């Protein structure tokens, strides 16, 4: 059974298409924000995902609506691709050292959305990307994917390294959590 989903969302601020394959595939990204494309590529590559994102947003205002709405649509696609979550490992975590920075992500494909984010950004921008948008993306993604997600920057002096390490840690944790290990739902309740 293919674990994949396609989700489209159009508002007055953004027009977004996401296609996601949990078990790998091509990566094609165009959000209009180069640094954000770079982060999504890192996430998909280290997550072992196939991912297409086409986003048109009101970038003349700023990147907020585009980044947050991609998080919403990508989260919905992940939830859809997981389906009933039968047999998945469910819990996972990953550390990523990135030069002077050390990053961490832990997640539970629980159906109970929650985000804990502790990653101060020492610089306000990476290219055309406002670093404050990282938490906005992660919140939208976790809420709409129905993940419990904890992220932490233990230390770091470069916002590019911190942000990229967080996206890589998220991908690595998801790669582990999506792994099918059995034929039943991984829950003492019998349902997720």
**Residues 75-105: tens digit of each pLDDT:** 999 999 999 999 999 999 999 999 999 999 9
Question: For the chain, what percent of residues have pLDDT higher than 70?
Answer: 99
pLDDT at 188: 72
CA atoms within 13 A on the CB side of 136: 14
Contact status, residue 140 vs residue 68, Cβ threshold 8 Å? yes
> Is 0.85 surpassed by the pTM of this model?
yes
Burial (Cβ within 10 Å: 0-12, 13-18, ≥19) of residue 120: exposed
pLDDT at 75: 98
Give the pLDDT mean for 26-39: 98
Give the pLDDT mean for 148-169: 98
How far is C-alpha 81 from the chain's CA centre? 14
Q: Comparing C-alpha atoms, which of 43, 46, 22, 21 is closest to residue 31?
A: 43
Give the pLDDT mean for 131-139: 98
């Amino acid at each position: 059974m293919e674990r994949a989903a396609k989700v489209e969302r159009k508002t007055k601020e953004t027009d977004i298409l996401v296609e996601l394959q949990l078990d790998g595939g091509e990566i094609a990204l165009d959000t209009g924000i180069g640094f954000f494309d770079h982060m999504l590529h890192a996430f998909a590559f280290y997550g072992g995902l196939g991912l297409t994102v086409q986003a048109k947003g009101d970038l003349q205002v700023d990147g907020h609506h585009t980044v947050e709405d991609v998080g919403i649509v990508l989260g919905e696609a992940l939830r859809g691709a997981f389906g009933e979550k039968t047999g998945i490992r469910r819990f996972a975590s990953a550390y990523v050292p990135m030069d002077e920075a050390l990053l961490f992500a832990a997640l539970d494909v629980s159906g109970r959305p929650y985000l804990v984010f502790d990653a101060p950004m020492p610089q306000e921008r990476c290219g055309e990307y406002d670093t404050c948008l990282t938490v906005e993306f992660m919140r939208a993604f976790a809420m709409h994917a129905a993940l419990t997600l904890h992220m932490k920057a233990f230390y770091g002096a470069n916002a590019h390294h911190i942000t990229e390490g967080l996206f890589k840690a998220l991908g690595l944790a998801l790669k582990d959590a999506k792994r099918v290990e059995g034929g039943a739902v991984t829950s003492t309740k019998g349902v997720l």
